[in-house]
Homo-oligomer: A and B are copies of this chain.
Amino acid sequence: MPTTTLPKRRESRGDQRRHQIFKSLHDCILAKGYVKTTLADVAEGAGMSASHLLYYFKGKEDILEQYFDSVSVRFMARIAEFSSQEPRVQIQSLADFWFKGETSTIKEIGFMLECFGAAVNDDVLRITKAEFDESCKAHLVDIFQASPAVFMESTKDAAEISYALMIGLRSAVYFDSDINLDEAHRLFLNSILSMSGHT
């Protein structure tokens, strides 16, 4: 399916091409998963030949690595926007970000989980994820420091637990039928509010 995109002057031709490839990879992963996605699949979605993908990227892994990085950057920017809000509102924003909206559908969580699995044995993905985690936890520490009270030994512990809860609940939403996005949202929100003394 060829996509006719308007030529933006801000983006070089190469960047446009790269974005088409990312978009196609994302579509393919949501449809059949990264492992089962072939370069031919991605190429067709991006309207080019498979061999031409390797003009822009070193290989299949490289496409995922760079795409994962771009998603990571986008997410960090989004989360950074919350910083100006009151702690209580910030917590609400985070709950919404991780358990509501288009970035947190079941399929998107599946994409995330598959990336984590791939990251286990891919240095580039692993480092990207580690930096993303670090950034998220730093934000959480800030939130807890600005909060009324923390029922934890330290704000660092509270951040660690909050982040683990987010990862674990999203995983549960994907795999387990006893919990859905709304319930996970409630559990996450209530837990963080409670930990931060927002009674």
A82 at interface, CB cutoff 8 A: no
A148 at interface, CB cutoff 8 A: no
Question: B120 and A110: CB pair below 8 A?
Answer: yes
A133: contacting residue among B117, B130, B172, CB under 8 A: B172
Q: Residues 156-186 of chain A: 1 if any B CB is under 8 Å from the residue's CB, otherwise 0?
A: 1100110111111101101111110001000
A15 at interface, CB cutoff 8 A: no
Residues of B within 8 A of A169 (CB): 160, 164, 168
> DSSP class of A's interface residues: helix, strand, loop or mixed?
helix
A33 at interface, CB cutoff 8 A: yes
The interface of chain A, by Cβ under 8 A from chain B, is 32-33, 35-36, 110, 113-121, 126, 129-130, 133-134, 137, 153, 156-157, 160-161, 163-169, 171-172, 174-179, 183, 187, 190-191
Residues of B within 8 A of A114 (CB): 117, 120-121
Shortest CB-to-CB span from A107 to chain B, Å, is 10
What would 26 A/B residue contacts be, using CB atoms closer than 8 Å? Answer: A33-B120, A35-B121, A36-B121, A110-B121, A113-B116, A113-B120, A114-B117, A116-B116, A116-B117, A117-B118, A119-B175, A133-B172, A133-B175, A134-B176, A137-B176, A153-B190, A160-B178, A160-B183, A161-B165, A161-B187, A164-B164, A164-B167, A164-B171, A167-B167, A168-B168, A168-B171
State in angstroms the CA–CA spacing of A22 and B44 once bound together: 38
State in angstroms the CA–CA spacing of A65 and B114 once bound together: 16
Question: Which of A137, A160, A174, A187 has the largest number of chain B CB atoms within 10 A?
Answer: A160
State in angstroms the CA–CA spacing of A98 and B165 once bound together: 16
Question: B176 and A168: CB pair below 8 A?
Answer: no
A129: contacting residue among B32, B119, B126, B175, CB under 8 A: B175
State in angstroms the CA–CA spacing of A198 and B35 once bound together: 45
- A125's nearest neighbour on chain B, judged by CB, is B175
